[in-house]
Structure 1
Amino acid sequence: MKIFPNKSRFSYGLLMLLLVVSVAGSFFTLHNHAISESSKGIPYLAIVFAVLAIVISIFFYQSILSAWAEAARSSSQLDQLKASLRETRRKEEVIKKEEEEAQEQTHEENLEEIANGIIPVGSFEEEEEFLEKLLSNIAKQHDIVQAVAYTREKNNTFTITSSYAFFSETEPQPFAEGLTLPGQVAKNKVILNLDNVPENYITILSGLGKGSPSNLLIIPILNPDKTECIGVIELASFKTFNSRMVGLFETLSPKISEQLISIGNSKNSKYDNP
């Protein structure tokens, strides 16, 4: 049985007030009855107050128990809600991770497909022929305005082997690892992406005159175990090389290495056998 259908601080306060009034009324009634000389018989008013106090105490106790039970239910529901939120967050993270992995796999598959489309088809007896066709494919597909390929000689210097739209009043000099920008790339074995190339570092000739691209990508070609650089490719463009382009040439580099070693193995190779 509930006195107050809607529990509130007001209802609990009112119960406490009635309890105090009932106990006080019972006490004062008994006290007055005890000190009154003319009082005889049973103090019915005191009994009424006492019974009322007991009833109110029972209701108050029930209200407290009900409040505790409600608090326990609320706490349990809150814990369930927290657990549900944690599980939902965990599932979202799993789904997000799976989507990212799927996108990364698709991205890698796309790069692999594009790289395979760049590698020249056919049999090549000379590095120069293969690299010339390779540079032409790269230039046509990716807005490259100038490209140069260097290969390592037996004396460990790098010399120009093939080029695309290359113009220079003097033939590029051979370089060793660590010297010149391509030499630094050969030494570090990591792609170098420059977007602020000094003016006149590269000169492009066309019917409209001369131009100087400010974006340069230098790619090392490593042997299969990645311990030695066997070639370097320089690509110049008026457009910035973004991360996707860098990723593409990271995928393409081992394929070029495989072709160069294959051509070298068909005759006296200047590279170490894989």
Structure 2
Amino acid sequence: MKHIQKNRTYLSVYLVIVLLAIVAAYAVSLQTFGFNWVIVSLTGVILLIIIRIYTIAIAFYKQIKEITLQQQKESEEEISISDIINQKNTGQQEEKEQQEEELDKLIEQLSGESDAEQLAQKLLARLGEELHIVQGLVYQYSSETEKFEVLSTFAYYGEEPPQPFTIGEGLSGQAARDQHRILLTELPDDYTEVISGLGKRQPKMLLLAPLIYEKKTVALVELSFFEKLEEQKIDKFEGILNKLAKHFA
């Protein structure tokens, strides 16, 4: 913003200098050649053009200023996923309503993407930044293949690409079929090798969370963490996911 303001000041100074130069040139020509309608007309046209360019530049500056201020406002008002799930439950109705408002604002921010793949990437990026997930995958149900296909990944480093699965197939398929999360903690050293899409790195916790829309599982999120999340926080996280579910249907 300071840079924009500085450029506007320069523009104003340059305009004054140019106008003074034109006036000086006109005065010199007047003394040299006397009054001449051609010179007067030409000088007037040049002045009008310069003033018009200046007004266009000022209008452009105002638009840039408005856009910059809006972006700053959106950045300041951005609600984080970690803030939502770390909020303590309270019996105060006013605080509950505030929490719901923040949740709705978060969902609005995340669901700004109309494309499901872009939304999945945005979600995983936010989770990686805020919840420090080891790895993340989002699967979306395909009516054509009748399988859950990989839609987006975060920090995936498996030797083979994550494979699609059907309802009831493996742990992910069970979570999708039962429409309930599967939470695994204190995994044995060799356990991650048989979990779809998680490679060989040892997490502390694995979360398989289905996204339910109109009583159907439309997507599934696989997340692995270095640190364990409390059940209460996981419940809130599932609430966020299911409010986003319609965008994957």
Question: What TM-score range do you get, normalising by the shorter chain?
Answer: 0.5 to 0.7
Q: What is the TM-score when the length of structure 2 is the normalising length?
A: 0.54
Give the CA deviation at 1:125.
Answer: 4.3
Contact 1:217 1:241 in 2 (8 A): no
Matched residues in 2 for 1:255 and 1:181: separation? 23
Please tell me whether residue 138 in structure 1 is matched to residue 127 in structure 2. Answer: yes
Unaligned runs of 5+ in 1: 1-99, 204-209, 262-274
Deviations 1:190-235 (A, max 9, x none): 12221123335448xxxxxx84112011111011x3x210100011
Which of 227, 232, 237 is the aligned partner of 2:220?
232
| Match in the other structure for 2:27 | none
- 8 Å contact 2:111–2:247 — kept in the other structure? no
1:187 is the counterpart of 2:168: no
Shift, 1:101, TM fit:
6.9
Residue 171 of structure 2 aligns with an amino acid whose one-letter code is L
1:254 Cα deviation after fit: 2.1
Larger C-alpha radius of gyration, 1 or 2? 1
Of the three residues 146, 162, 170, the one matched with 2:152 is 162
Q: Which amino acid aligns with 1:117?
A: L
Q: Tell me if structure 2 keeps the 8 A contact 1:193–1:217.
A: yes
Q: What SS does the aligned partner of 1:254 have?
A: helix
Q: Which residue of 1 aligns with 2:203?
A: 213
- Displacement, 1:105? 7.7
Match of 2:187 in 1: 197
> 2:120·2:138 contact (CA, 8 Å) conserved in 1?
yes
Q: CA separation in 1, counterparts of 2:222 and 2:108?
A: 16
Q: Any conservation in 2 of the 1:111–1:248 contact (CA below 8 Å)? A: no
Aligned amino acid, residue 229 of structure 1: T
Return closer, same or farther for 1:235/1:120 CA change in 2, 3 Å cut-off.
farther
Q: Secondary structure at the match of 1:102?
A: coil
What CA deviation, in whole Å up to 9, does each residue of 1:81-120 have, x standing for no partner? xxxxxxxxxxxxxxxxxxx972588468537625743664
Give the drift of 1:242: 0.7
Flag as ranges the 4+ runs of structure 1 deviating above 6 A.
Answer: none
RMSD of the TM alignment (CA)? Answer: 2.8
Q: The residue matched to 1:145 in structure 2 has which SS?
A: strand
Structure 2 distance, partners of 1:170, 1:119, is: 35
Structure 1 residues 112 and 137: alpha-carbon distance in aligned structure 2, compared to 1, 3 A threshold: farther
Number of residue pairs the alignment of both structures matches: 154
- Flag the 1:191–1:233 CA change in 2: closer, same or farther, 3 A: same
Instruction: Answer yes or no: is the 8 Å Cα contact 1:219–1:249 preserved in 2.
Output: no
Residue 59 of structure 2 is matched in structure 1 by none
Partner of 1:55: none
Alpha-carbon distance change, 117 to 159 in structure 1, aligned in 2, over 3 angstroms:
same
Partner of 2:142: 153
Alpha-carbon distance in 2 for matches of 1:173, 1:129 = 20
Once residues 121 and 177 of structure 2 are traced to their aligned partners in structure 1, the CA distance between those partners, rounded to angstroms, is 24
| Inter-partner Cα distance in structure 2 for 1:249 and 1:189 | 15
In the alignment, the residues of structure 1 paired with residue 102 and residue 226 of structure 2 have an alpha-carbon distance, to the nearest angstrom, of 25
Q: 1:174 to 1:245 in 2, by over 3 A?
A: same
Alpha-carbon distance change, 121 to 188 in structure 1, aligned in 2, over 3 angstroms? closer
- Is it true that 1:241 corresponds to 2:211 in the alignment? no
Residues 66-92 of structure 1 show CA distances to partners (whole Å, capped at 9, x for unaligned) of: xxxxxxxxxxxxxxxxxxxxxxxxxxx
**Change over 3 Å in CA distance of 1:235–1:220 after alignment to 2:** same
Q: CA deviation at 1:158?
A: 0.6
In the alignment, what sits opposite 1:253? 241
Identity in percent: 26
Shift of 1:184: 0.6
CA contact (8 A) 1:186 1:229 kept: yes
